[in-house]
Amino acid sequence: MTNEIYNAAASALTIAAGIMLLAALSKARELYDDYTEWATLRRRAKYRAPAYTDMEQRWTQHQNREQLWKAVNR
């Protein structure tokens, strides 16, 4: 009788440990996905500011050339 109770308890604990392991793996995967997304956004932001500055300079140069072209053609 005692052996059957021990086996049942061991089985229940093994199942509980397996469920906890799966929950921990699921949480780890979720945290990894969040970190990956955060790192991607951080990297994009790092390159976005210089790109916008460069784009603004090119746009200003384009606008200045357009104004000069219009002034020359009058």
**4-63 pLDDT tens trace:** 999 999 999 999 999 999 999 999 999 999 999 999 999 999 999 999 999 999 999 999
> Which tokens is 11 given?
């089985």
> Which tokens is 27 given?
């949480």
Q: Helix, strand, or coil here: 34? A: helix
- Round to whole Å and give the CA distance between 18 and 27: 14
pLDDT at position 13: 97
pTM of the model: 0.57
pLDDT at position 31: 98
- Round to whole Å and give the CA distance between 39 and 37: 5
DSSP state letter for 1: -
- Round to whole Å and give the CA distance between 51 and 57: 10
